[in-house]
Chains A and B, each alone.
Chain A
Amino acid sequence: MLVAFTLLLGFQLAGEVIVGLTGWPLPGPVLGMLFLVAFLTVRGAVPDALDKLSAALLQHLLLLFVPAGVGVIVYAALLAREWFAVLVALFVSTIATIAVTGLVAQALLKRQARNTLVSPLPEGEG
């Protein structure tokens, strides 16, 4: 467990260092996630302790958003006069983004599935 946690922190640290040095528009932890994928690719399997730790962390991922979220209530006064415009724009835009992304991705995934199904089909079947 200790080794697994050190691994996660180490990859995060490596990500932060590289982002800090290069100025890439990417958060350190996201780059750390890619490093972990590379590490697992080299290793060929997920170590048992890392598997358990990541499952535990991801199971309660939502909890980790609470402390920053409480700040919203405290700073909400900053938006007192604009809250209507802000909320409408956020809600409508979020709905539109979910619908557009989902529909575009699903349409392309369907087309891809149709193409790969059609071409390698052996002769004389169907």
Chain B
Amino acid sequence: MSESFFHLWTYLAATPLLGLTLTLIAYMIGDAAYRASGRKPYVSPVLIAIIVLGTLLLATGTPYRTYFEGAQFVHFLLGPATVALGVPLWRNRHEVKRAALPILAGVAAGSITAVVSTVVIARALGASEQTVLSMAPKSVTTPIAMGIAEKLGGLPAIAAIMVLVTGVSGAMMGRYVLNAVGVRDWRARGLAVGTAAHGQGTAVALTANETAGVFASIALGLNGVLTALLVPLLLQLLR
């Protein structure tokens, strides 16, 4: 029985069907837990799905590459979904235009804070220089962060991990941090999570309030560009 199950698993694990189906099921489990908690941000459906799937892969000895053959179909949709952010952005274009200066200043302040605080804290706690360089662009969206890390002499794969952990934690903590420091304006709240936690921050902002989601998606794009421009300069200063 267990042997035939093993054979079946190895057969199915080699097709994209299993990885894809398991990804959807794991996310639905996470989403059900999130709803059952009364939509508490710290019950992260992404984190739950990652733990469920990671445990499953480790327990069955399935290589990540095999899993990703199926899961890549979900992963691929990140591109068109990012383009689709243009729809709410266009709907709110007048509000965005009016707030151009606060948007630019807020995101610039956040970009500098993200890079400087990461580098200073990680160095002080004894992280290796390669890890520090891979962490510096942690608040920007994955493709930009990997490119920046590579140019600096860090490891793009490690940079991708930092981006993901930052995204999960920013999405979980954002609401509490903003409430604690008294930021109530939905535009400012969106900018904050979009700057600090890129796509995941944007996703959470979108579920809370459309205006917040729009401002988060602007911050996501703007912070990517600003960080790419600022990081080499900031690292020079922090030498």
Contact = CB atoms under 8 A, between A and B. Distances in A.
Interface of A: 5, 8-9, 11-12, 15, 25-30, 32-37, 40-41, 46, 50-51, 53-55, 57-58, 61-76, 78-79, 82, 84-106, 108-110, 112
4 A-B pairs with least C-beta separation: A105-B106, A101-B110, A36-B86, A73-B54
Contact of A29 (B23, B82, B109, B169): B82
Interface string B21-64: 00110110000000000000000011101110110011000001
Interface residues of B, number: 113
Interface string B107-144: 10110011001100110011110010001001101111
Contacts of B144: 25-27
B144 to A, nearest CB: 6
A109 B164 contact: no
Interface of B: 23-24, 26-27, 45-47, 49-51, 53-54, 57-58, 64, 67-68, 71-72, 74-75, 77-91, 93, 98-99, 101-103, 105-107, 109-110, 113-114, 117-118, 121-122, 125-128, 131, 135, 138-139, 141-144, 147-148, 157-158, 160-162, 164-171, 173-174, 177-178, 180-181, 183-185, 187-189, 191-193, 195-197, 199-200, 202-204, 206, 213, 217, 219-221, 224-225, 228-229
Contacts of A96: 113-114, 117
Contacts of A46: 87, 90-91
A86 B57 contact: no
Contacts of A8: 80, 83-84
A84 B165 CA distance: 13
A51 B87 contact: yes
Contact of B84 (A54, A66, A99, A103): A54
Nearest to A76: B161
Contacts of A40: 86-87, 90
Nearest to B218: A33
27 contacts: A8-B80, A12-B79, A25-B224, A27-B82, A33-B86, A41-B90, A55-B87, A62-B200, A62-B203, A64-B74, A73-B53, A79-B161, A82-B128, A84-B125, A88-B121, A88-B125, A89-B122, A93-B118, A95-B177, A97-B192, A97-B196, A102-B181, A102-B189, A105-B107, A106-B185, A108-B106, A112-B98
A94 B87 contact: no
A112 B139 CA distance: 27
